Amino acid sequence: MRVHVISLERSLARRAALTERLSVLGVPYELSPAVDGAAGYAHFEACDSDQYLLNTGRAPSDAEVGCYASHLNLWQLCAAAREPFVIMEDDAAPLPNIAAALEVTRHLVPRYGFVRLEYDGPSEPARTRKVEQAGCFAIHYFSRYPYGAMCYALTPRVARAFIERSRVLRAPVDQFIKRCWEHGQ
179 versus 125: the higher-pLDDT residue is: 179
Cβ atoms of 102 and 76 within 8 Å: the answer is no
> Average pLDDT, stretch 40-60?
95
The upper half-sphere exposure of residue 182, i.e. CA atoms within 13 Å in the direction of its Cβ, equals 17
Helix, strand, coil content of the chain in percent (nearest 5): 45, 20, 35
Please give the pLDDT value at position 149: 79
Q: Among 77-86, 154-163, 169-178, where is mean pLDDT lowest?
A: 169-178
> Average pLDDT, stretch 53-81?
96
pTM for this structure?
A: 0.92
Neighbours of 39 (CB within 10 A): 13
Q: pLDDT digits over 73-120, tens only?
A: 999 999 999 999 999 999 999 999 999 999 999 999 999 999 999 765
Q: What is the dihedral of CA 148, 37, 102, 110, to 10 degrees?
A: 80
